[in-house]
Structure 1
Amino acid sequence: MAAQLPLRDVHLPAAPGWWPLAPGWWLLIGAVLLVVLTVLVIYFLRRRRLQRWMALFDRQLQAAAQGPAQLAAASELLRRAARQLDPQAVQLQGEAWLRFLDGGKRKDFSSGAGRLLLDGGFRPQLEGEQVERACQLARARFLELMAGRR
Protein backbone atom coordinates (compact mmCIF):
# COMPACT_ATOMS: atom_id res chain seq x y z
CA MET A 1 0.00 0.00 0.00
CA ALA A 2 1.18 3.43 -0.83
CA ALA A 3 1.93 5.87 1.95
CA GLN A 4 -0.51 8.64 2.25
CA LEU A 5 1.04 12.09 2.15
CA PRO A 6 -0.65 14.73 4.22
CA LEU A 7 -1.96 17.51 1.98
CA ARG A 8 -1.56 21.09 3.09
CA ASP A 9 -3.30 24.26 2.01
CA VAL A 10 -1.52 26.74 -0.27
CA HIS A 11 0.56 29.26 1.67
CA LEU A 12 0.76 32.84 0.39
CA PRO A 13 4.06 34.72 0.66
CA ALA A 14 4.45 37.44 3.29
CA ALA A 15 3.33 40.97 2.38
CA PRO A 16 6.17 43.11 1.07
CA GLY A 17 7.79 45.38 3.64
CA TRP A 18 7.87 49.13 3.38
CA TRP A 19 11.66 49.12 3.19
CA PRO A 20 13.40 49.53 0.78
CA LEU A 21 11.23 52.15 -0.79
CA ALA A 22 10.04 51.94 -4.34
CA PRO A 23 11.86 54.19 -6.87
CA GLY A 24 8.88 56.55 -7.10
CA TRP A 25 9.12 57.35 -3.39
CA TRP A 26 12.84 58.09 -3.75
CA LEU A 27 12.06 60.52 -6.59
CA LEU A 28 9.37 62.22 -4.50
CA ILE A 29 11.70 62.56 -1.50
CA GLY A 30 14.44 63.95 -3.75
CA ALA A 31 12.05 66.49 -5.31
CA VAL A 32 10.84 67.66 -1.88
CA LEU A 33 14.42 68.00 -0.61
CA LEU A 34 15.38 69.94 -3.72
CA VAL A 35 12.50 72.38 -3.24
CA VAL A 36 13.30 72.85 0.47
CA LEU A 37 16.99 73.36 -0.28
CA THR A 38 16.19 75.90 -3.02
CA VAL A 39 13.90 77.86 -0.71
CA LEU A 40 16.51 77.90 2.04
CA VAL A 41 19.28 79.05 -0.31
CA ILE A 42 17.09 81.86 -1.66
CA TYR A 43 16.12 82.90 1.88
CA PHE A 44 19.71 83.03 3.11
CA LEU A 45 20.98 84.83 0.02
CA ARG A 46 18.28 87.50 0.36
CA ARG A 47 18.96 87.82 4.07
CA ARG A 48 22.68 88.25 3.46
CA ARG A 49 22.02 90.84 0.75
CA LEU A 50 19.70 92.75 3.11
CA GLN A 51 22.34 92.68 5.83
CA ARG A 52 24.94 94.07 3.40
CA TRP A 53 22.59 96.91 2.46
CA MET A 54 21.90 97.70 6.12
CA ALA A 55 25.61 97.66 6.88
CA LEU A 56 26.30 99.99 3.93
CA PHE A 57 23.66 102.46 5.09
CA ASP A 58 24.83 102.36 8.72
CA ARG A 59 28.50 102.70 7.71
CA GLN A 60 27.77 105.79 5.60
CA LEU A 61 25.80 107.41 8.42
CA GLN A 62 28.51 106.64 10.99
CA ALA A 63 31.17 108.08 8.69
CA ALA A 64 29.24 111.36 8.53
CA ALA A 65 29.38 113.87 11.33
CA GLN A 66 26.31 114.36 13.46
CA GLY A 67 23.10 116.09 12.38
CA PRO A 68 23.05 117.71 8.96
CA ALA A 69 25.87 115.58 7.56
CA GLN A 70 23.98 112.39 8.45
CA LEU A 71 20.87 113.67 6.68
CA ALA A 72 22.93 114.55 3.63
CA ALA A 73 24.47 111.05 3.61
CA ALA A 74 21.02 109.44 3.99
CA SER A 75 19.66 111.56 1.16
CA GLU A 76 22.58 110.60 -1.09
CA LEU A 77 22.02 106.91 -0.38
CA LEU A 78 18.31 107.28 -1.14
CA ARG A 79 19.09 108.89 -4.48
CA ARG A 80 21.51 106.11 -5.36
CA ALA A 81 18.91 103.48 -4.48
CA ALA A 82 16.17 105.34 -6.38
CA ARG A 83 18.35 105.38 -9.48
CA GLN A 84 18.23 101.56 -9.56
CA LEU A 85 14.44 101.58 -9.54
CA ASP A 86 13.88 104.54 -11.83
CA PRO A 87 16.80 106.33 -13.52
CA GLN A 88 14.73 109.53 -13.81
CA ALA A 89 14.11 109.65 -10.03
CA VAL A 90 17.52 111.21 -9.45
CA GLN A 91 16.34 114.39 -11.17
CA LEU A 92 13.32 114.82 -8.89
CA GLN A 93 13.46 117.74 -6.48
CA GLY A 94 11.39 119.15 -3.65
CA GLU A 95 7.87 117.82 -3.22
CA ALA A 96 8.15 115.49 -6.22
CA TRP A 97 11.15 113.79 -4.59
CA LEU A 98 9.28 113.40 -1.30
CA ARG A 99 6.24 111.95 -3.08
CA PHE A 100 8.52 109.47 -4.81
CA LEU A 101 9.98 108.49 -1.44
CA ASP A 102 6.47 108.07 -0.03
CA GLY A 103 5.85 105.36 -2.58
CA GLY A 104 2.19 106.23 -3.05
CA LYS A 105 0.53 104.94 0.13
CA ARG A 106 2.52 106.46 2.96
CA LYS A 107 3.01 110.12 3.73
CA ASP A 108 6.06 109.74 5.99
CA PHE A 109 8.27 111.85 3.75
CA SER A 110 5.91 114.43 2.26
CA SER A 111 4.19 115.33 5.52
CA GLY A 112 6.08 113.42 8.22
CA ALA A 113 9.51 113.29 9.78
CA GLY A 114 11.12 112.45 6.44
CA ARG A 115 10.42 115.99 5.26
CA LEU A 116 13.63 116.93 7.02
CA LEU A 117 15.58 115.33 4.15
CA LEU A 118 14.73 118.30 1.92
CA ASP A 119 16.61 120.98 3.81
CA GLY A 120 17.98 119.25 6.92
CA GLY A 121 21.38 118.82 5.35
CA PHE A 122 21.67 122.61 5.03
CA ARG A 123 20.52 123.61 8.50
CA PRO A 124 23.21 124.60 10.99
CA GLN A 125 21.55 122.90 13.97
CA LEU A 126 19.10 120.02 14.29
CA GLU A 127 17.65 118.10 17.20
CA GLY A 128 19.10 114.62 17.56
CA GLU A 129 15.65 113.05 17.83
CA GLN A 130 14.52 114.58 14.54
CA VAL A 131 17.63 113.39 12.77
CA GLU A 132 17.27 109.90 14.24
CA ARG A 133 13.64 109.59 13.13
CA ALA A 134 14.39 110.89 9.63
CA CYS A 135 17.36 108.50 9.32
CA GLN A 136 15.21 105.55 10.43
CA LEU A 137 12.64 106.39 7.75
CA ALA A 138 15.41 106.83 5.18
CA ARG A 139 16.94 103.47 6.13
CA ALA A 140 13.64 101.64 5.77
CA ARG A 141 12.93 103.30 2.41
CA PHE A 142 16.51 102.65 1.26
CA LEU A 143 16.06 98.92 1.88
CA GLU A 144 12.74 98.95 0.01
CA LEU A 145 14.24 100.75 -2.96
CA MET A 146 17.22 98.43 -3.09
CA ALA A 147 14.85 95.45 -3.04
CA GLY A 148 13.03 96.97 -6.03
CA ARG A 149 9.79 97.87 -4.25
CA ARG A 150 8.13 101.14 -5.09
Structure 2
Amino acid sequence: MSPVLSLLAAVSSAPPMSALAAQLHDIHPGPMLTQAADPRLQGWWALLIMLLMGALIGAALLSLLRYRRWQRQIDWEAPELVPRLQAVLREAALGRWPEARTLQGEAWLAFLDRQGGSQFREFATLWPHWLYGQGIPDARQCEALRRAYLSWGRACCCLPPGVIAFRRRWQQGLTRLRIRSSS
Protein backbone atom coordinates (compact mmCIF):
# COMPACT_ATOMS: atom_id res chain seq x y z
CA MET A 1 0.00 0.00 0.00
CA SER A 2 1.30 3.46 -0.82
CA PRO A 3 2.29 5.78 1.99
CA VAL A 4 -0.44 8.28 1.12
CA LEU A 5 -3.19 5.66 1.20
CA SER A 6 -1.95 4.25 4.49
CA LEU A 7 -1.92 7.75 5.99
CA LEU A 8 -5.48 8.37 4.83
CA ALA A 9 -6.64 5.04 6.24
CA ALA A 10 -5.00 5.84 9.57
CA VAL A 11 -6.62 9.27 9.78
CA SER A 12 -10.07 7.96 8.91
CA SER A 13 -9.91 5.13 11.46
CA ALA A 14 -8.60 7.35 14.27
CA PRO A 15 -11.10 8.23 16.98
CA PRO A 16 -12.36 11.82 16.98
CA MET A 17 -10.15 14.20 18.88
CA SER A 18 -12.90 16.13 20.58
CA ALA A 19 -16.62 16.53 20.88
CA LEU A 20 -16.48 19.39 18.42
CA ALA A 21 -14.81 17.20 15.81
CA ALA A 22 -17.52 14.62 16.39
CA GLN A 23 -20.20 17.21 15.63
CA LEU A 24 -18.47 18.10 12.34
CA HIS A 25 -18.23 14.48 11.25
CA ASP A 26 -21.22 14.69 8.88
CA ILE A 27 -20.06 17.87 7.10
CA HIS A 28 -18.46 17.09 3.77
CA PRO A 29 -16.63 19.68 1.68
CA GLY A 30 -18.15 20.41 -1.71
CA PRO A 31 -16.38 20.26 -5.01
CA MET A 32 -13.39 22.47 -5.58
CA LEU A 33 -14.34 26.00 -6.50
CA THR A 34 -13.21 27.18 -9.89
CA GLN A 35 -11.15 30.28 -10.08
CA ALA A 36 -13.57 33.10 -10.81
CA ALA A 37 -12.40 35.91 -13.03
CA ASP A 38 -11.33 39.00 -11.20
CA PRO A 39 -14.20 41.53 -11.31
CA ARG A 40 -11.70 44.31 -11.97
CA LEU A 41 -10.59 42.48 -15.10
CA GLN A 42 -14.20 42.17 -16.24
CA GLY A 43 -14.61 45.90 -15.64
CA TRP A 44 -11.60 46.66 -17.83
CA TRP A 45 -13.02 44.48 -20.62
CA ALA A 46 -16.37 46.25 -20.35
CA LEU A 47 -14.62 49.63 -20.48
CA LEU A 48 -12.60 48.56 -23.53
CA ILE A 49 -15.74 47.37 -25.33
CA MET A 50 -17.57 50.61 -24.52
CA LEU A 51 -14.63 52.69 -25.76
CA LEU A 52 -14.48 50.74 -29.02
CA MET A 53 -18.23 51.10 -29.51
CA GLY A 54 -17.96 54.82 -28.78
CA ALA A 55 -15.16 55.18 -31.32
CA LEU A 56 -17.18 53.32 -33.97
CA ILE A 57 -20.28 55.42 -33.29
CA GLY A 58 -18.16 58.58 -33.39
CA ALA A 59 -16.59 57.58 -36.71
CA ALA A 60 -20.03 56.79 -38.15
CA LEU A 61 -21.40 60.17 -37.03
CA LEU A 62 -18.36 61.96 -38.44
CA SER A 63 -18.83 60.18 -41.78
CA LEU A 64 -22.50 61.11 -41.78
CA LEU A 65 -21.67 64.78 -41.11
CA ARG A 66 -19.08 64.76 -43.90
CA TYR A 67 -21.64 63.27 -46.29
CA ARG A 68 -24.28 65.87 -45.34
CA ARG A 69 -21.75 68.64 -45.94
CA TRP A 70 -20.82 67.02 -49.28
CA GLN A 71 -24.49 66.95 -50.30
CA ARG A 72 -24.98 70.65 -49.53
CA GLN A 73 -21.96 71.91 -51.51
CA ILE A 74 -23.72 71.97 -54.87
CA ASP A 75 -26.75 74.02 -55.87
CA TRP A 76 -28.36 71.69 -58.39
CA GLU A 77 -30.57 74.44 -59.85
CA ALA A 78 -27.72 76.85 -60.61
CA PRO A 79 -26.87 77.59 -64.28
CA GLU A 80 -23.13 77.16 -63.60
CA LEU A 81 -23.68 73.65 -62.23
CA VAL A 82 -20.90 71.82 -64.10
CA PRO A 83 -18.14 74.41 -63.43
CA ARG A 84 -19.03 74.33 -59.72
CA LEU A 85 -19.16 70.52 -59.80
CA GLN A 86 -15.75 70.44 -61.50
CA ALA A 87 -14.27 72.80 -58.88
CA VAL A 88 -15.63 70.82 -55.92
CA LEU A 89 -14.54 67.47 -57.35
CA ARG A 90 -11.08 68.76 -58.24
CA GLU A 91 -10.59 70.29 -54.80
CA ALA A 92 -11.61 67.05 -53.08
CA ALA A 93 -9.50 64.87 -55.40
CA LEU A 94 -6.36 66.99 -55.13
CA GLY A 95 -6.47 66.72 -51.34
CA ARG A 96 -6.14 62.95 -51.59
CA TRP A 97 -4.50 62.34 -54.97
CA PRO A 98 -2.04 65.09 -55.99
CA GLU A 99 -1.26 63.20 -59.21
CA ALA A 100 -4.73 64.17 -60.47
CA ARG A 101 -3.59 67.79 -60.87
CA THR A 102 -2.64 67.35 -64.53
CA LEU A 103 -5.70 65.38 -65.63
CA GLN A 104 -8.22 67.04 -67.96
CA GLY A 105 -11.24 66.02 -70.00
CA GLU A 106 -11.93 62.34 -70.46
CA ALA A 107 -8.84 61.31 -68.47
CA TRP A 108 -10.16 63.35 -65.52
CA LEU A 109 -13.60 61.75 -65.74
CA ALA A 110 -12.03 58.28 -66.02
CA PHE A 111 -9.95 59.04 -62.94
CA LEU A 112 -13.09 60.03 -61.02
CA ASP A 113 -14.82 56.83 -62.08
CA ARG A 114 -11.82 54.71 -61.16
CA GLN A 115 -11.39 56.24 -57.72
CA GLY A 116 -15.03 56.54 -56.73
CA GLY A 117 -16.89 53.97 -58.75
CA SER A 118 -19.12 56.69 -60.21
CA GLN A 119 -20.39 57.14 -63.77
CA PHE A 120 -18.91 60.49 -64.84
CA ARG A 121 -17.36 59.01 -67.98
CA GLU A 122 -20.77 58.74 -69.65
CA PHE A 123 -20.75 62.57 -69.85
CA ALA A 124 -17.34 62.74 -71.55
CA THR A 125 -18.71 64.16 -74.81
CA LEU A 126 -20.89 66.79 -73.13
CA TRP A 127 -18.63 67.71 -70.22
CA PRO A 128 -16.43 70.27 -72.08
CA HIS A 129 -19.51 72.04 -73.48
CA TRP A 130 -21.11 72.27 -70.06
CA LEU A 131 -17.84 73.24 -68.40
CA TYR A 132 -17.19 76.19 -70.69
CA GLY A 133 -20.76 77.50 -70.74
CA GLN A 134 -21.88 76.26 -74.16
CA GLY A 135 -24.88 74.47 -72.69
CA ILE A 136 -26.44 73.19 -69.52
CA PRO A 137 -27.53 69.67 -68.61
CA ASP A 138 -31.23 68.87 -68.80
CA ALA A 139 -33.19 67.48 -65.82
CA ARG A 140 -32.37 63.84 -66.57
CA GLN A 141 -28.67 64.62 -66.98
CA CYS A 142 -28.69 66.72 -63.79
CA GLU A 143 -30.13 63.77 -61.88
CA ALA A 144 -27.48 61.44 -63.33
CA LEU A 145 -24.76 63.97 -62.43
CA ARG A 146 -26.18 64.22 -58.92
CA ARG A 147 -26.15 60.44 -58.48
CA ALA A 148 -22.56 60.23 -59.74
CA TYR A 149 -21.49 63.13 -57.50
CA LEU A 150 -23.10 61.65 -54.38
CA SER A 151 -21.70 58.20 -55.15
CA TRP A 152 -18.22 59.64 -55.59
CA GLY A 153 -18.55 61.60 -52.35
CA ARG A 154 -19.64 58.53 -50.40
CA ALA A 155 -16.73 56.53 -51.76
CA CYS A 156 -13.97 59.14 -51.60
CA CYS A 157 -14.75 61.99 -49.23
CA CYS A 158 -17.02 60.84 -46.45
CA LEU A 159 -14.91 58.00 -45.09
CA PRO A 160 -11.62 58.54 -43.27
CA PRO A 161 -8.59 58.29 -45.58
CA GLY A 162 -7.34 55.09 -43.91
CA VAL A 163 -10.63 53.32 -44.60
CA ILE A 164 -10.56 54.48 -48.22
CA ALA A 165 -6.99 53.23 -48.66
CA PHE A 166 -7.89 49.88 -47.05
CA ARG A 167 -10.94 49.50 -49.29
CA ARG A 168 -8.90 50.32 -52.42
CA ARG A 169 -6.23 47.75 -51.49
CA TRP A 170 -8.96 45.19 -50.79
CA GLN A 171 -10.56 45.81 -54.20
CA GLN A 172 -7.18 45.59 -55.94
CA GLY A 173 -6.54 42.28 -54.19
CA LEU A 174 -9.93 40.98 -55.32
CA THR A 175 -9.19 42.09 -58.88
CA ARG A 176 -5.83 40.28 -58.82
CA LEU A 177 -7.54 37.19 -57.43
CA ARG A 178 -10.12 37.24 -60.23
CA ILE A 179 -7.37 37.62 -62.85
CA ARG A 180 -5.43 34.68 -61.40
CA SER A 181 -8.50 32.46 -61.21
CA SER A 182 -9.56 33.25 -64.79
CA SER A 183 -6.14 32.47 -66.27
Q: Runs of 5+ in structure 1 lacking a partner?
A: none
Mind listing any 5+ residue stretches in structure 2 that lack a counterpart?
1-18, 169-183
1:30-81 Cα deviation digits (max 9, x unpaired): 22x234223322322222222232232232213xx62542332222221111
The 5 Å alignment of 1:1-150 reads 7-8=22-23, 9-13=25-29, 22-23=37-38, 25-31=39-45, 33-62=46-75, 66=77, 68-103=79-114, 106=117, 108-110=119-121, 112=122, 117-121=127-131, 122-146=133-157, 147=159, 148=161, 149=164
Larger helix percent: 2
**Shift of residue 115, structure 1, vs aligned partner:** 6.8
**CA, structure 1 residues 116+48, in 2 after alignment: closer, same or farther (shift >3 Å)?**
farther
Structure 2: distance between partners of 1:87 and 1:94: 17
Single out whichever of 128-137 and 49-58 deviates more from structure 2.
49-58
Could you tell me how far 1:92 is from its partner in structure 2?
1.1
For each residue in 1:122-150, what CA deviation from the matched residue of structure 2 results, as whole angstroms up to 9, or x when unmatched?
Answer: 34332112112112211221232223335
Query: Partners in 2 of 1:42 and 1:34 — Cα distance?
Result: 12
CA distance 1:115–1:53, change in 2 (3 Å): farther
Deviation at residue 117 of structure 1 after TM alignment: 4.8
Q: Percent identity?
A: 20
Measure the CA separation in 1 of the matches of 2:100 and 2:43. Answer: 48
In the alignment, the residues of structure 1 paired with residue 87 and residue 127 of structure 2 have an alpha-carbon distance, to the nearest angstrom, of 10
Conserved 8 A contact 1:57-1:77: no
The alignment of Structure 1 onto Structure 2 pairs a total of residues equal to 139
Contact kept? 2:116, 2:151, Cα under 8 Å? no
Equivalent position amino acid for 2:130 in 1? G
Contact 1:67 1:131 in 2 (8 A): no
Q: Distance in 2 between matches of 1:14 and 1:135?
A: 73
CA distance 1:105–1:76, change in 2 (3 Å) = closer
- AA aligned opposite 1:49: L
Say which structure, 1 or 2, has more relative contact order (CA 8 Å, 6+ apart): 1
Aligned CA RMSD, in angstroms, stands at 3.4
Aligned letter for 1:44?
A: I
What is the TM-score with the length of structure 1 in the denominator?
0.68
In the alignment, the residues of structure 2 paired with residue 101 and residue 47 of structure 1 have an alpha-carbon distance, to the nearest angstrom, of 24
Aligned mates of 1:87, 1:15 — CA distance in 2: 69
Structure with greater Cα Rg: 2
